[in-house]
Each structure stands twice: as structure tokens, then as C-alpha cells.
């Protein structure tokens, strides 16, 4: 294929961003994740304490068998149950969130248009990313089809997003338009290879 044909058939990349706009579900997930982290820490600690006691042995152990430590064994079993419950709680809330997730597709923007939008943003990051998002983000409906997001819906969407959700858009915009340049990496890492004599 000639360069002319490649340019004619060129397409820009995109990345999907999934966001749950139900704040209550997001907070429930955060709470469940915190509980899971704590349950995991407690179980790990109980397991380590039991393993240490078993490794240390016991002066009355004449048969070379592991010594029973009922309290530590009970603690490990209890924390294992709590860990499983915490995992199930996270799974349940994430299943619920999956039914309430909105998918947005962030498209790369041609260089010239990208520079024009940056100028419109007048150097102010929030304004610039808002303009870039409105230019490049599409809503993906249940049929998998892209839909334009009207300006009035953007006016409602942006104030109802958390900083973390907005950062998802910012990261995707950067990834689609700036990552390779910002990291000064050659495409397919060819530039990092040493030329052989």
C-alpha cells in the first residue's frame, strides 16, 4: 500500500471510559473496598502469627508434629470468613454498578484541531480539557453505537462528576493525544534500539 493510500485510509485511535454516575453506588463500593482491604490485612496478620508459632515449635513437642494453637487457628478461620464476606460484598456492589455504568468513547483529535482547542482554552487546564472532552468524547449506547453529547447535556454532566471521574476523561484524552510525545517514546519502541555496526 502506498503512503497516499495509507493516509487516505488513516484513522485515529480511541479508548472507552466507563463511569458510574450513581454517587450512592460509588460510595458503597468505596466503603466495601475499604472493608475488603481491612479484612485482607487482618487475615494476613492472623496467618503470619499462626505460621510463626508453628515454626517456633513447642518445648513439649516430642513427636515432631505441628503444635496446635487453638486461639490462633480460630482467629485465622474467623478472619478467613470475614475476608470471604468482604469479597462477596465487593462483588455484589460491582455487579450492581455494572448495570448502572455509562460508557464514553474518547477519540484522538487531529493535531491541528487539538492545537486550536488548546488556544481556545487560553492556557487554563480545566477549560481546555472541558473543550477537548466536548470535542472528542461520545456516549456509547446499549447497542454499542456512538452518540454525540449535546452541549446542554455536557453542562449537566460536568458538574455532576467527581474529580476522580473527570480525571478518567483527562487521562484518556492525554493517552490518545499526548502520551507518546510526553514520554518521548518512539512508536513501537524502535527509537530505543541500538544500531548494530
Q: How confident is the model at residue 153 (pLDDT cuts 50, 70, 90)?
A: very high
pLDDT at 146: 92
Say if residue 36's pLDDT is above 70.
Answer: yes
User: What is each CA distance from 3 to 8, 9, 14, 66, in whole angstroms?
Assistant: 8, 10, 23, 72
Give pLDDT tens digits for 66-80: 556 777 778 778 888
- pLDDT above 90 as % of the chain: 28
| Angle 41-37-172 from CA coordinates, rounded to 5° | 140
Name 127's Cβ contacts closer than 8 Å, sequence gap at least 6.
Answer: 121
Strand arrangement, sheet containing 14-20: 14-20, 101-107, 137-140, 146-147
pLDDT at 52: 79
Q: Which of 99, 97, 102, 136 shows the shortest CA–CA distance to 116?
A: 136
All three cell numbers of 111, joined, read 493535531
Q: Which of 129, 164, 141, 12 shows the shortest CA–CA distance to 149?
A: 141
All three cell numbers of 22, joined, read 450513581
Rounded Cα distance between 180 and 169, Å, is 17
| Domains of the chain, residue spans | 23-98, 102-178
Q: Residue 93: enclosing H or E segment and its boundaries?
A: helix 70-98
- Residue 105 main-chain phi, psi, to 5 deg: -105, 120
Rounded Cα distance between 76 and 86, Å, is 15
Say if residue 187's pLDDT is above 60.
Answer: no
Say if residue 136's pLDDT is above 90.
Answer: yes
Q: How many Cβ atoms are within 10 Å of 135's Cβ, its own excluded?
A: 15
pLDDT at 133: 94
Q: How confident is the model at residue 58 (pLDDT cuts 50, 70, 90)?
A: low
What is the rounded average pLDDT of the residues 173-180?
A: 80
Amino acid at each position: 500500500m502506498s503512503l497516499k493510500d495509507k493516509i487516505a485510509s488513516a484513522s485515529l485511535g480511541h479508548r472507552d471510559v466507563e463511569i458510574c454516575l450513581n454517587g450512592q453506588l460509588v460510595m458503597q463500593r468505596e466503603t466495601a473496598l475499604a472493608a475488603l482491604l481491612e479484612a485482607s490485612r487482618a487475615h494476613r496478620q492472623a496467618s503470619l502469627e499462626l505460621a510463626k508459632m508453628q515454626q517456633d515449635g513447642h518445648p513439649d513437642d516430642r513427636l515432631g508434629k505441628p503444635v496446635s494453637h487453638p486461639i490462633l487457628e480460630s482467629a485465622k478461620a474467623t478472619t478467613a470468613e470475614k475476608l470471604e464476606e468482604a469479597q462477596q460484598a465487593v462483588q455484589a456492589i460491582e455487579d450492581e454498578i455494572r448495570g448502572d455504568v455509562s460508557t464514553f468513547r474518547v477519540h484522538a483529535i487531529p493535531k491541528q484541531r487539538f492545537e486550536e482547542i488548546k488556544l481556545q482554552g487560553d492556557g487554563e487546564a480545566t477549560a481546555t480539557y472541558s473543550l477537548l472532552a466536548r470535542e472528542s468524547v461520545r456516549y456509547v449506547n446499549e447497542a454499542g453505537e456512538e452518540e454525540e453529547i449535546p452541549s446542554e447535556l455536557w453542562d449537566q454532566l460536568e458538574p455532576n462528576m467527581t474529580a476522580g471521574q473527570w480525571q478518567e476523561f483527562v487521562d484518556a484524552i492525554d493517552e490518545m493525544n499526548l502520551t507518546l510525545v510526553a514520554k518521548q517514546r518512539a512508536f513501537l519502541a524502535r527509537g530505543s534500539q541500538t544500531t548494530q555496526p
